[in-house]
Amino acid sequence: MPGLDTLLAFLIATAIFAYIPGPAMLYATAQTLARGARAGLMAALGLHVGGYVHVLAAAFGLALLFELVPPLYVALKLIGAAYLIWLGLQMIRTRNARVNATPQGDSNPARAFRQSMIVEILNPKTALFFMAFLPQFSDPAAALPIWAQMLILGTVVNVVFSSADLVCVALAHRMSRLLAHTSRASARVKAMGGSILVGLGLTVALDR
């Protein structure tokens, strides 16, 4: 593995990237506001599991396809954006139901997990991030091969990023509890979560 100084720089850089507000944090926040804490936790878990797909892709060079075939990147990005918008519209459409008693909410945490994993897998920017970030801290002279180093470093990155998502879930749950004293407030909280997803999907689709 790389030297101590390199590993320290890696951990600092990872923490900075992880706790800068980004799409995954907004997604976990939106899920929590719209569906409750349990769904938020399952959403964070789905993002975490989906992240390993990109770690593997970076370690074994699969993410290079996005640079070699730009239309593939654009297609995957648009599919992911459309999926986010669809999820957001579904939340807004059912905003009159209680936040913690919707068919898509805590009663079916597996659905929140699956949807979140799909969202993360369909995010080509995550793949490119891992491909660009991990090699900076890999050492060709180390005992472990580069792919093994990238798997280990990628796992650390994924765990740290997920810790930031969990912080967002906790804060969003606290906010929703403060605002959910009336049915009208509950509907607004749920609509807020759906609106965040729609806005996130539009941002992803229009981002160049």
Amino acid 49: pLDDT: 97
Residue 18 has pLDDT above 90, yes or no: yes
Structure tokens at 85: 């918008």
d(CA 33, CA 187): 10
| Residue 168 pLDDT class (50, 70, 90 cuts) | very high
The answer for residues whose C-beta is within 8 angstroms of residue 181's C-beta and 6 or more apart is none
Structure tokens at 82: 């459309």
The answer for residues whose C-beta is within 8 angstroms of residue 127's C-beta and 6 or more apart is 54, 57, 58, 62, 63, 66
Residue 105 has pLDDT above 80, yes or no: no
Amino acid 70: pLDDT: 81
d(CA 63, CA 78): 17
pTM > 0.85: yes or no: no
The stretch 70-86 carries a mean pLDDT of 83
The answer for residues whose C-beta is within 8 angstroms of residue 125's C-beta and 6 or more apart is 23, 77
- pLDDT, tens only, 79-90: 888 888 888 888
- pLDDT, tens only, 48-63: 999 999 999 988 887 6
Amino acid 98: pLDDT: 46
Most confident of 3-12, 105-114, 165-174: 165-174
Amino acid 208: pLDDT: 63
- Confirm if 204 and 77 have CB atoms less than 8 A apart: yes
| Residue 185 pLDDT class (50, 70, 90 cuts) | low
Phi first, then psi: what are they for 23, rounded to 5°?
-55, -40
Residue 180 has pLDDT above 70, yes or no: no
Residue 97 has pLDDT above 60, yes or no: no
The shares of helix, strand and coil residues in the chain, as percent rounded to the nearest 5, are 80, 0, 20
d(CA 133, CA 82): 27
The stretch 3-11 carries a mean pLDDT of 84
Q: In the block, which residue shows the tokens 């749950």? A: 173
Mean pLDDT of the chain: 82
From 21-30, 122-131, 134-143, the region with the lowest mean pLDDT: 134-143
| Residue 40 pLDDT class (50, 70, 90 cuts) | very high
Burial zone of 131 (CB within 10 Å; 0-12 exposed, 13-18 middle, 19+ buried): buried
